[in-house]
Structure formats: structure tokens, C-alpha cells
Amino acid sequence: MRDFEGELAQRKQAGLYRTRRQISGPQQPVLTSDGKPLLSFCSNDYLGLANHPANIEALRNALPETGLGGASSHLICGHHDAHHQLEQRLARFTGRSSALFFSTGYMANMGVISALAGRGDTIFSDRLNHASIIDGCILSRAKVRRYAHGDMAELEAMLAQTSGHKLVVTDGVFSMDGDVARLKELARVCRTHDALLVVDDAHGIGVLGPQGRGSVAEQGMSEEDVPVLIGTLGKAVGTSGAFVAGSSVLIDYLVQKARTYIYTTAMPPAIATATCASIDLIERDDERRQHLRELVAVFREQASAMGYELMPSETPIQPIMVGNNWSALELSRALEERGFLVIAIRPPTVPAGEARLRVTLSAAHSKSDLDRLLRALSECRHLLAEPDIAV
């Protein structure tokens, strides 16, 4: 018998033990945890839409029409008008011909990657890609080659050595670093070597690009450059689920082949209706994105002036590099004592020796929320060893 208790004890010793914090009330900057308020800087609700009255009202209004449960898979009798309308809305939003609504981003990546590549094919994957991409690659049974983060030269060399069907997959915005993939170059390399490019823009949709259309649109690219675009709806969009957008042939193919689409119960249709309302808000509301960009700029300027080591990120994901697991936990704990919730991210979510505090900013934060965080960070600065960069 495997020694589960022993393995848990080992994790605790290595500073890798994970616990779940219980919160009550809606997702918003001030969370209630154990009855006490904490100002959170770790949510992916980048636009503050998870608790937006217009989306909640859309959900409430939809319920008498749609009922609650999904009741069946899409291919039996679960494919509701509301799902169909969301798919059309997402296609329009992303400038693609068609879209397919999945229950989660994890399932979208598992289903899409394993549908588009199989035994005998090769998948090329950035080393910092999200866990759901890694798992999708494993599920596909294709050969997987991982290239160093953002290393186009290495990717191109690997592609040149490989024959057969090739798929390149990347995060649009890297979830733990916050940097944006070099999509123009990726698209060029893929075109040259006849590889299919898949971009998972979980953290770009809603946040980046004109009207929040994501990192692909921000870099001026279309369906021709990025034929397979994945996005999630539980982060900036503030509801739940995910989508794949592309040509109608691609979507038709996925309906036949994506097992995580076929063999699961349809999402409650009212969620799809609320998601349409949220997309409307996202398209209209440039002010949220503008405010968010301003918060990001202030955070970067002031935190780096304190001598914190930041990552080359212009997105709302602004990790503070720490290195050691225990130091990351200690900094997180010190911030919590001051009323802030910023979670330490440790291996295997990030590479060993690269533990960090993943600070995320949201349009729902006020300038004074950020000022308070910065003051606390300044008080806690002594907890970290001197970083490499000059103070």
C-alpha cells in the first residue's frame, strides 16, 4: 500500500503542502475569510465582473426560461438555444466563424489538444504552458516536445527536424509569469513549418486588445494566423466555462472528436445567457481596462522601487519573485497579518526554486486599495533577502 500519510508529511516538510482557504460572500476585492475581511490581490476576476449586477440580473432573468440543470450532454438533448446564442456571440467577439462552449478551460484544453493530435503526431509546447495543456498533450498520445519558454529559435529547430502532423500550443498570457507570448513569430514559424497553432488566451480575453478581444487581437492577428483560439470565461469574463473559436470546419470536427465536449453534461444554460451579458459589458467598457492598466503601471513602478523583483509583465498578473518556498509563505503570511490576501505560488505550479507571490490586479480595486497594498509591501520588504537587482 502506498504511504499516503508519509507523502503528506513529506510535502509539509518541503513547504509544499497545500490548503484551501474558505471564504464567504461573493468574489470581490474584499473577501471574508474566517469571519475577518481580507483585501484580496489573487483573484483572476480581472475586470470585477464576477459579482456584477448586470450579469447577475441576466442570470436571474434567464432562469425561468431555461430552468437550472443542463440535464444531458450536448449531443443528446442538452444543447440549448442559450448555449447556441453564446457560441454565436463568442464567434462575433473573437472575429471567428464559429465557437464551441466547453464547461471549463481545463476541459477545453484536454479535449481540443487530444482531438487535434494523436499517435504519430508531434505537439510542441512552451515549457511554461498551463497544466491543462500539459495534460491534454499526455491524453493525446502524440509525441510531445517542450521548448524553452518563448524560445522561437529552439522551436523552429525542433519543427525543422520533425515530419508528419505538427501542432504548436501556447498560453497567450502565461498564467504564473504574466508575460505575453510572441504570437506574431509563433504564427510565422508555424506557417513556415506547416504546423497548426493553438493559443490558450485564458488570461488575455477581456483584458487585452481592442474591446478586450484578447492577446491575439492585440497583436493584430486573425483566424488565419491563429486558427485555434481557446479562451476561458471564469476569469476576466466573470462567469464560468470556456470556448474554442475557429473555422466552422474546425468546430464541426471538434463536435465529433473532443471527448471532454461529447461525454459531459451541458453547462446550465442560464450561465451561457449571463456570459453573453458579460461579453456585452466587456466590449463596451474600455474604462475598466484603462483603470486596470493604470493600476498595473503604479504597482510596477512602486514595487520595483522598493527592490522587489518583478517579472517582465504588462498584464494584471504581477508576480513578486521570491525563490524559496518558505520565504514566499512567510511574505504571504506577513501580508495576511496586515489584512491582505496574496497567495504564494510554489512548485510544481512553477519551477523549483521559483516560488513567488502572484499578485493580480483587478479593475475592481481602487487606487487606494493598491496604495494600501504597496504600503504593506514596503513594511514587509525586509523579510526577503536582497534581490539581484539594485535597490
Ligand X SMILES: *Cc1c(COP(=O)(O)O)cnc(C)c1O
What is the distance between the alpha carbons of residues 255 and 170, in angstroms, rounded to a whole number? 22
Q: From CA 119, how far away is CA 194, in angstroms rounded?
A: 18
The nearer residue to ligand X, 236 or 363, going by C-beta atoms, is 236
Angle at 367 between CA 363 and CA 368, to 5 degrees: 130
Binding site for ligand X (CB under 6 A): 104-106, 109, 130, 132, 171, 175, 200, 202-203, 232, 234, 242
Among 206, 218, 368, 221, smallest CA distance to 285 is for: 206
Task: Give the integer Cα–Cα distance in Å for 278 and 124.
Answer: 33
Whether the CB-CB separation of 93 and 133 falls below 8 Å is answered with: no
- The answer to whether 345 touches 358, Cβ cutoff 8 Å, is yes
Active-site positions read: 175, 203, 235
What's 189's DSSP letter?
H
Could you tell me which of 45, 5, 23 has the C-alpha nearest to residue 363? 45
* Contact criterion met (CB below 8 Å) for 201 and 173: yes
Angle at 108 between CA 107 and CA 110, to 5 degrees: 60
Cell reading at 225: 494566423
Order the strands of the 344-345 sheet from edge to edge: 317-323, 355-360, 344-345
* C-beta of 133 vs 296, nearer to ligand X: 133
Where helices occur in the chain by DSSP H, the ranges are 4-13, 53-66, 81-94, 105-116, 131-140, 152-161, 183-192, 215-218, 248-257, 259-262, 269-284, 286-305, 325-337, 367-380
Only one residue has cell 446564442, namely 85
CB 45 within 8 A of CB 292: no
The single-letter DSSP state of residue 148 is P
CB atoms within 10 A of CB 197: 24
